[in-house]
Every structure is written in C-alpha cells, then in structure tokens.
Amino acid sequence: MGDDIHLPADLLELISGTLLTGDTAEIVSAARAVWALAANNHKAKLVLRSAGVSAAVHSGVQRLERAARDPAAQRALQLLTYTNTVLQTT
C-alpha cells in the first residue's frame, strides 16, 4: 500500500456538510467515516484536518451538546467526541 492519501474534495465536503447540518443519524454516519479514515493513519488525519473536517467534527460536538437529550443524540455525541480525539492525536 502506498504512502499517498488521496481523498476526493467532494467526499470531504459531503462529510463536513453532514457533520455541520445533518440530523443525528447522518452525523453518526459521517463520524464513522471520519473515524475509519483517520484511525491509525497519520497522513489521513492531516488531510482531514487541512480540509476542515476536524473543525466540522468540533462544531458537530457543540451542536449535539446543546441538543443531546435523547439517547440517540447522546450516543452520537460520544462518537463525535471520540472521533474528535482521534483527529487531534498524532
């Protein structure tokens, strides 16, 4: 497997947009995608950060913190918080 990480810009925009404006289920799907891309892959983390996905994850955390009353939103908040941690670690 090569060292180059290429993620299409439209995919990154879709993920960011979903994290910023999606409903709870959509946010969970986007967070899972980010986690899958970033887990144990430093270069992917750098690409995701530079594309603004990290900021979108953080915004999603803030949005869910304000609205996390139901169990699904609380689970989504936990996933986003974990995803945010994965993105921040080097």
pLDDT digits (tens, 9 = 90+) for 31-72: 999 999 998 889 999 999 999 999 999 999 999 988 768 888
Residue 31 lies in a domain: yes
pLDDT value at residue 1: 45
Amino acid letter at 66? R
Kindly state whether residue 3 falls inside one of the protein's structural domains: no
Q: How many folded domains does the chain comprise?
A: 1
Say if 1 falls within a structural domain. Answer: no
Which residue range is the domain that position 45 belongs to?
A: 9-88
pLDDT > 90: percent of the chain: 69
Q: Tell me if 23 is assigned to some domain.
A: yes
Q: Please say if the pLDDT value at position 3 is more than 60.
A: no
Question: Would residue 49 count as lying in a domain?
Answer: yes
pLDDT > 70: what percent of the chain? 92
